[in-house]
Amino acid sequence: MEFPEEYMLPCLNKKLFGLECMGCGIQRSISLIFQGELVAAFHMYPAIFTLILLVIVLILNSFKNFKYANKIIITLVIVNLTIIVGNFIIKLSNQT
């Protein structure tokens, strides 16, 4: 199942300033996951799998509170922010 590129939302930051934002690549990465291209999805957006894990934990926690949920959520948020910001810095250094 391929998600046609014409249906994807454009990055306004990239259109206006010519620089990718911290979320650039997430739509294409999700599309690649649905196509079964897990490695390509990771290369497109490295935080995709930890973000999916965070969403799963948040959904599960909304139905049934479990022990250490807050610590797990905080840890996943920190890991995701680190990956996203780190990847953004690498992308910026490669663009210049």
Number of domains, the chain: 1
What's residue 83's pLDDT? Answer: 96
State how far Cα 18 lies from the chain centre. 20
Q: Which domain holds residue 43?
A: 5-95
Question: Distance (Å, rounded) from C-alpha 96 to C-alpha 91?
Answer: 9
CA 75 to CA 19: how far, in whole Å?
Answer: 29
Per residue in 2-25, pLDDT (tens digit) is: 556 667 777 777 778 777 788 888
* Across 72-79, average pLDDT: 96
What pTM does this model have?
0.81
Cβ atoms within 10 Å of 57's Cβ, excluding its own? 16
